Amino acid sequence: MTDDQDQELDQVGWPRRVRSFVRRPGRLTPGQQRALDELLPKYGVAADVRDLRALFERDAPLVVEIGCGNGQAMAYMAANEPEFDFVGIEVHEPGVGRLLKAIDDRGLSNVRVAMRDAVEVLAEQVVPGSLEQVRIYFPDPWPKKRHHKRRLIQAPFLERLAEALRPGGLLHLATDWTPYAEWMLEALAEVDAFELLGDPGVPRPAWRPQTHFETRGQRRGHEIVDLLCRRR
């Protein structure tokens, strides 16, 4: 990243808090644009929803995936775990377009999509204790030291996730960036509400498919770390 871009990041972040993402003008294919126009009204989460559980007609445990990217994992999990309802949160429009199309093509009735900053969704649209699980796969590692403040996984955000989860609920993190895995473990250690399950780095649970960014990391020789935590 050039210094110009870095400055731009700071401007984007000011005067609001530092965000974990940068909105880049993404190229939407005509299919993705159509999906956003036609399917977001059907499967999207409106900003005035105050309890994500109210989006579904049944009363099933709710799993939230934050930063679901192109939605491949979300669509796979929703099809494979029909006992759960799912909300995918993602700000990248082309990714949301792809996920919406997958939901519609596969006729998945247990998925909704919030195209919004997850920090805002957690603050305004989630009732404390209402989530069964939160899954965050390969969040942007922001490897440069001056960008560490942009990392999504930080103790205050973990506190908010703990508040959102029911006691006994699960937080599942995965990363291909070893320094970020260490950072995650340090942040988790600061939050009493979470208990790490197993050794740091458990085998990939069966419910998580290989993701797009995981494949990219593996091609670069990165080690994959899955962390599972229980809300006390």
Ligand X SMILES: C[S@@+](CC[C@H](N)C(=O)[O-])C[C@H]1O[C@@H](n2cnc3c(N)ncnc32)[C@H](O)[C@@H]1O
Which residues belong to the active site? 140
Instruction: Verify binding: residue 180, ligand X, rule CB under 6 A.
Output: no
Instruction: Verify binding: residue 36, ligand X, rule CB under 6 A.
Output: no
Q: Which CB atom, from 177 or from 194, has the smaller least distance to ligand X? A: 177
Phi, psi of 176 (to 5 degrees): -110, 10
Residue span 94-123 as binding mask against ligand X, x where in contact by CB under 6 A, dash where not: -x---------------------xxx----
Q: 204, 228, 201: which is closest to 214 by C-alpha?
A: 204
Q: Which CB atom, from 19 or from 34, has the smaller least distance to ligand X? A: 19
Instruction: Verify binding: residue 176, ligand X, rule CB under 6 A.
Output: no
147 in a known ligand binding site: no
Instruction: Verify binding: residue 154, ligand X, rule CB under 6 A.
Output: no
Q: Which CB atom, from 58 or from 91, has the smaller least distance to ligand X? A: 91
Instruction: Verify binding: residue 125, ligand X, rule CB under 6 A.
Output: no
Q: 75, 101, 86, 41: which is closest to 209 by C-alpha?
A: 75
176 in a known ligand binding site: yes
Instruction: Verify binding: residue 212, ligand X, rule CB under 6 A.
Output: yes
140 in a known ligand binding site: yes
Binding-site residues from annotation for S-adenosyl-L-methionine = 65, 90, 117, 140
Binding site for ligand X (CB under 6 A): 20-21, 66-69, 89-92, 95, 117-119, 137-140, 152, 211-214
